[in-house]
Amino acid sequence: MLEIRPNCEHCNKALPNDSDEAMVCSYECTFCTSCVDNVLHNVCPNCGGGFEKRPTRPVNCLTGNCVEKHPVGTRKVYKPIDKNVFKKILKEFNNIEPRKR
């Protein structure tokens, strides 16, 4: 089950459960669309993977699986990327499709 982290790891922008701007990699590293597009160029600085839009945890409990019974995460991860370190990762992965990295 996804943790649904509450912020962008790079710029610390709030990304609540219902945010349309939250993007995650397969390890659930969480960034906003602006950072993914303009800073990271769809390359996760932590694992080298690509990003997908993060799903929203349902608020309707009809199925029993909802935010009320499975709250979203509160742990903030804020570690702005070191652009000099990230250059090497970006150079290695930028021209390879995320599913082939």
At 61, the pLDDT band (50, 70, 90 cuts) reads very high
Residues 47-73 have a mean pLDDT of 96
Q: State which residues form the domain around 74.
A: 22-94
Q: Confidence band (pLDDT; 50, 70, 90) for 38?
A: very high
Q: Is residue 60 part of a domain?
A: yes
Contact indicator for 2, 28 with CB cutoff of 8 Å:
yes
Residue 100 within any structural domain of the chain: no
- Total of domains in the chain: 1
Q: Does residue 86 form part of some domain?
A: yes
pLDDT in tens, 63-75: 999 999 999 999 9
In a domain, residue 34? The reply is yes
Global pTM reads: 0.93
Residue 65 domain-assigned (yes or no): yes
Establish if 58 belongs to a structural domain.
Answer: yes
Two tokens, residue 38: 């303009």
Q: Where are the beta strands (DSSP E) in the chain?
A: 22-24, 30-32, 52-53
**22-24 and 30-32 beta bridge pairing:** antiparallel
